[in-house]
Structure 1
Amino acid sequence: MANQKDLKIAILIDADNVSSKKIEEILNEVNRYGIPTIKRIYGDWTRPYVENWKNSLLIHAITPIQQYSYTQGKNSTDSALIIDAMDILHSDRVDGFCIVSSDSDFTRLATRLRESGKLVIGIGERKTPKPFIASCDKFIYVEILEKVAPAKKTPKKNNHTTPKTPAPEAPSPEDSLVAATRNDLASAEPAAQPEELDISELDDDTLLMLKDAVDDTADENGWAFLGEIGSLILKRKPDFDARNYGFEKISHLFKSRKDDFEIDERSNEKSRNRLYYIRNIIVKSSAATPPAPAEPEPQTPTKAVLPSRGNKITADDVKKNQIRITKDFKSLFPNRTRKVKVVIVNEFECRFSYRGDRSHVLNLGKVAAAELELQEGASYALTKLDEFVYKLEKVTEADTKTA
């Protein structure tokens, strides 16, 4: 594939799902990833709801594609967009596609384009269904583009008036989630204004994903290059964007979590840019860490209460239950353990990898809840059978008191 600066991108817009007021921010965002050589928008231009698009189409040189609604309740616009996308794909004129829509009907299209080796960027609202998000290489929420844009422009009396002056210089492709982590200058710090944004909180699941990405790309000393971290995060969560949490760049997000991550800025000999390396801060829990056996005796297992007393595991909220189990597992292994096999009620097995993919642990979910009979306020014991095999079982109230 061509260099990121030279990527040719086809922008295909679903007029039924996007407001014309957002088009400038959308085009500026696409410029980060390449050159939009094809810009088309699909809709029934005889309908009044697309009237506001006409001025924007002229200013930004977007080609309108007329598609009549032949039958009420049927979206023929989607079909026209999909057909054109496949024609462009087979003409081999572009390196990637940007599908601007919040419609899940484009899920199969995005998957097919990626199967052909094309970059697929999705842009839509937060209501966009998860399947469409997952089918893209990168998905960007329109809402964060709306919020960031005012900080980059000169204030005007009428916020909806198209500016007559040239649009502000779009951030270079290196500022994208993957490339920005390679050339993230410390001097760029004032660019973001998080206090003015309606940002989302960094939830436990996202924090665990960040920690796992650091673990999975780290060297022997635990340091991971931020560029590799960003690339891995995109593969696991296409809609991840530091701007969702009020930060202009992913490096700013890591810097804000001083209790969770160490940051090491290193000079680049070939340029003045600084390279960022991240390492997880591991908090050792004396209560949860199992004692190291003096002699290997699998017949005499040691038990550690999981979770600690006072914590609760419930079967009702599976997602929270998964996070809770994962956290408690990690607290028992302060050192980097590659693979640990966990036996559930002598039958159900899963593998827990401190450095590797944690999805196997999270897949416990409802199955583990059913097998373990998870209850409000119940405690569970992790029994060490040997160095890499543990057994997870429910502990009675009497066992908890004597533990």
Structure 2
Amino acid sequence: MANQKDLKIAILIDADNVSSKKIEEILNEVNRYGIPTIKRIYGDWTRPYVENWKNSLLIHAITPIQQYSYTQGKNSTDSALIIDAMDILHSDRVDGFCIVSSDSDFTRLATRLRESGKLVIGIGERKTPKPFIASCDKFIYVEILEKVAPAKKNNRKNNHTTPKTPPVETPSPEDNQATSRNDMASIEPQTLPEEVNITELDDDTLLMLKDAVDDTADENGWAFLGEIGSLILKRKPDFDARNYGFEKVSHLFKSRKDDFEIDERSNEKSRNRLYYIRNIINKTATPTTPADSSTAESDAQPPIQAILPSRGNKITADDVKKNQIRITKDFKTLFPNRTRKIKVVIVNEFECRFSYRGDRSHVLNLGKVAAAELQLQEGASYSLTKLDEFVYKLEKLEEKDMKA
């Protein structure tokens, strides 16, 4: 596919579902993904509800397509838009489509365009049905595209001080370089509206972010922000940092200091810095002793987080050095779904209690804190013995046991 700056995009607007007041922001948003070579809007222009569109069409050079409503209750506008989209597709004049509507009737159209290898961007209101959102490569809510209110003028007399221009942040590669639908997450918004309906970051979305980090991470747990963003968009096309009050995805991750580590690295090829993200799995918890293990679950301290391993059958010195513990192949039979996260509570100096979590990563990582609490001896190896349901005991193996 062509470079992001050269992508040719057809913008098809459903006049029945979009306000003319938002068209400037919509076009500015699409310009960030490519060049709008086709701009058409569909509606019945004999009706009064489209009267406000006329000036906008002239200013932005949008071609109006007349579509009469032949039968009451039937939406002929949708049909006209779909037919034109398929004609444009087969003419092979564009690299992608932007469908501006909140109507689920365009779900199959978006799916068909993607099947033909075209980029599909959807823009609509928050009421847009989920099927249409899921059928797009990227979906943007018009509510976050409102104009930024102009700054109030300073009318104080004899004030000749020229206000300082705020420094323009140099975009990093993961912020502004995109070459295909897989890199769309790296395109970041230029501004954030002054008044916008901000959504709280819910647990499901946070878990999705953590999963994306895990699934793109290297052996040390670090994941490149550009790859994280691409994976997130594949799983949640309507994800946008602006929905949560942040101009950039990197700002969103930085705001979650209890959940993510951020590493800014220099780029040899440019002055831009690269962002790498790692999940914070371990949270310090006060271990319980045999005397108070019965009250472990009622303890207000959060449990240490761990992840189920996928390979290895011994705890080795290297595991301790890397702050990673790999435990017994038999463990897989205890937990048949080995791609599930688990949560661990330190019961005493040698015992752990495990329970499922509902996501997909698979490296057991207790870190230095847990290794110290478990009194793991560097250079020694251990086995895991089941004591009770979800309770296991770590036992140090002697050299003869290792040979056996």
Determine if the TM-score, normalized by the shorter chain, exceeds 0.5: yes
How does the TM-score come out when normalised to structure 2? 0.66
Q: CA deviation at 1:199?
A: 1.0
The question of whether the paired residues in 1 share the 8 Å contact of 2:339 and 2:362 is answered with no
What SS is found at the alignment partner of 1:42?
Answer: strand
Does the CA contact (< 8 Å) of 2:114 and 2:120 recur in 1? yes
Change in Cα spacing, 1:305 to 1:252, as seen in structure 2 (3 Å) is closer
* TM-score, structure 1 as length reference: 0.66
**Percent identity between the two aligned chains:** 90
- CA shift, 1:319, in A, is 39
Match of 1:342, SS state, is strand
The SS at the match of 1:25 is: helix
Instruction: Confirm or deny: 8 A CA contact 1:10 1:96 kept in the other structure.
Output: yes
Shift of 1:358: 3.7
Q: Contact conserved, 1:18 with 1:101, CA < 8 A, in 2?
A: yes
- Rate the CA distance shift 1:335–1:184 in 2: closer, same or farther, 3 A: same
Residue 373 to residue 101, structure 1, CA distance change in 2 (3 Å):
farther
Answer whether contact 2:386 2:393 (CA < 8 A) is retained: yes
Whether the aligned pair in 2 keeps the contact of 1:302 and 1:383 (CA below 8 Å) is no
Q: Distance in 1 between matches of 2:313 and 2:344?
A: 21
Given that 2:9 and 2:97 are in contact with CA atoms closer than 8 Å, whether structure 1 keeps it comes out as yes
Contact 1:306 1:381 (8 Å CA) reproduced:
no
**Tell me, which stretches of 5 or more residues in structure 2 are unaligned?**
none
In structure 1, runs of 5+ residues without a counterpart are none
> 2:7, 2:96 within 8 Å by CA — same for their partners in 1?
yes
SS in 2 for 1:184: helix
Quote the offset at 1:180 in angstroms: 11
Deviation (angstroms), 1:277: 0.2
Deviates more, 1:320-329 or 1:142-151: 320-329
Aligned to 1:392: 394
Q: 1:152 to 1:104 in 2, by over 3 A?
A: farther
Secondary structure at the aligned position of 1:110 is classed as helix
Check whether the contact 1:222–1:279 (CA below 8 A) recurs between aligned residues: yes
Q: Aligned with 1:360: secondary structure?
A: coil
**Contact 1:103–1:128 under 8 Å retained in 2:** yes
Q: CA deviation at 1:283?
A: 2.6
* 1:181-228: CA deviation from partner (whole Å, max 9, x where unpaired): 999999999976688543111110000000010000000110000000
C-alpha separation in 2, matches of 1:207 and 1:326? 31
The alpha-carbon deviation at position 16 of structure 1 amounts to: 0.2
Kept in 1, the 8 Å contact 2:147–2:193? The answer is no
**How far apart are the structure 2 equivalents of 1:319 and 1:47?**
73
Alpha-carbon shift at residue 325 of structure 1 (Å): 23
Where is the helix percentage greater, Structure 1 or Structure 2?
A: 1
Q: Tell me if the contact between 2:264 and 2:276 (Cα under 8 Å) persists in the aligned partners.
A: yes
> Structure 1 residues 206 and 19 mapped into 2: Cα distance closer, same or farther (>3 Å)?
same
Deviations 1:74-102 (A, max 9, x none): 00000000000000000000000000000
Over aligned residues, Cα RMSD in angstroms? 13.6
SS of the aligned residue for 1:9 comes to strand
Q: Does 1:254 align with 2:253?
A: yes
Aligned residue for 1:22, secondary structure, equals: helix
Count of residue correspondences:
399
| CA drift at 1:305 | 16
Counterpart contact for 2:136–2:237, Cα < 8 Å: yes
Bigger drift between 387-396 and 267-276 goes to: 387-396
- On the 8 A contact 1:174/1:182 being kept in 2, the answer is no
